[in-house]
């Protein structure tokens, strides 16, 4: 019997990606609707950029970015304070055998992209890029 290749190019299975995307939508909805009883989280727009699930689906790493990067440390602290609420809400909306433990981390990908953009726009690099087009 042929084995199906259900993995993405990053090496994560389609199921892990699908469940992570479900978590992301639920968490985004909770934050957008202000269902968390926290003044900072209610007044700050927070983007849930990615959710990575562990292979056993028992742990979810949630990457967040506050709008314009404002108060990132305070927002992370507030999210971590209300982790039990988020876990309970997600577990109630996703039918899984176990309720996943949620861990909030800042999304550094925007900072890395800005750094790469800055490096590529440096005059020395632009000079090299201009020579290769000739």
The predicted pLDDT at position 71 comes to 83
pLDDT at 122 over 80: no
Query: Which tens digit of pLDDT belongs to each residue from 43-70?
Result: 888 999 999 999 999 999 999 988 876 7
Query: Which tens digit of pLDDT belongs to each residue from 8-45?
Result: 545 668 989 999 999 999 999 999 998 888 888 888 88
Q: Which residues contact 6 (CB under 8 A, 6 or more apart)?
A: 13, 14, 15
Q: What percent of the chain has pLDDT over 70?
A: 83
Distance of CA 72 to the CA centre of its chain: 14
Are the CB atoms for 103 and 62 separated by under 8 Å? yes
The predicted pLDDT at position 10 comes to 56
Q: Which residues contact 42 (CB under 8 A, 6 or more apart)?
A: 34, 36
CATH number of 14-107: 3.30.300.20
H helical segments located in the chain: 14-32, 39-43, 72-81, 83-93, 109-120, 123-132
Q: What percent of the chain has pLDDT over 90?
A: 45
pLDDT at 1 over 90: no
**Domain spans, the chain:** 14-107
| Nearest Cα to Cα of residue 43 among 86, 90, 78, 84 | 78
Burial, 83: exposed, middle or buried (Cβ in 10 Å; 0-12, 13-18, 19+)?
middle
Quick one: average pLDDT of 66-76?
Answer: 83
Model pTM greater than 0.85? no
């Amino acid at each position: 019997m042929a084995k199906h290749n259900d993995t993405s190019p990053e090496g994560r299975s389609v199921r892990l990606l699908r469940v992570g995307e479900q978590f992301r939508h639920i968490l985004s909805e909770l934050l957008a609707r202000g269902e968390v009883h926290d003044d900072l989280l209610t007044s700050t727009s927070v983007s849930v950029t990615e959710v990575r699930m562990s292979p056993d689906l028992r742990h979810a790493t949630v990457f967040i970015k506050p709008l314009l990067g404002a108060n990132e440390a305070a927002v992370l602290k507030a999210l971590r304070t209300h982790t039990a609420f988020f876990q309970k809400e997600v577990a109630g909306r996703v039918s899984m055998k176990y309720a996943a433990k949620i861990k909030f981390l800042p999304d550094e990908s925007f900072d890395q992209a800005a750094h790469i953009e800055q490096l590529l726009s440096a005059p020395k690099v632009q000079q090299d890029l201009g020579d290769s087009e000739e």
